[in-house]
Structure 1
């Protein structure tokens, strides 16, 4: 991380693996998709959509395509009747899961601080 931020004013995404990683997993829907698939091992599209409240078909499709392009999610088509598709995580994505568990634990620990900060913002705005 120190190498990435030697000069804060000139952070090059290509030379900073942390920024590259955040570029790949960032966005509103990619982490929830990874989290749900990791719990299920393999999941069909509509089941995945039901487990992520608020996601639209377009955003789910685009996010899955991006995750597949980056090699984090694999899409398996079954030529049965009726045909269906299942999504699962790749080995590269499984390597990422311990970091996500740590971020999840940190988020839970920081939740009271986040909630208080949001309350303070609401009070300031309403004055």
Structure 2
């Protein structure tokens, strides 16, 4: 029994494929612990946290699994003396075992430098009878 749809939403499949490719590239260049810095580790942990939040909406079973991963990432942050994430599960561990909502919190957004032309870019429109050189 297939519990997930066969077709992803607009852009989801492409972004997931790009994420998988980048993860493989990161693994290839950072295969030794000596190649990591504290900032690089924090960025990678944040990327995994954000990916876990995205996966949590894929299916109810995924949400439970991603909550566990979020808790493990919060513990990793603590062991490596990284600052806590705004969307980590660290603050929930000591709570009075109250029922947690199924909706994960929104990830922290850091301003990044813009790359490329953006998702709305549709190319240049050249009127018929004209060439790209303007003649």
TM-score range, shorter chain: 0.3 to 0.5
TM-score w.r.t. length of structure 1: 0.36
Structure with the larger helix share: 1
**Structure in which a larger fraction of residues adopt strand:** 1
Which structure has the bigger radius of gyration? 2
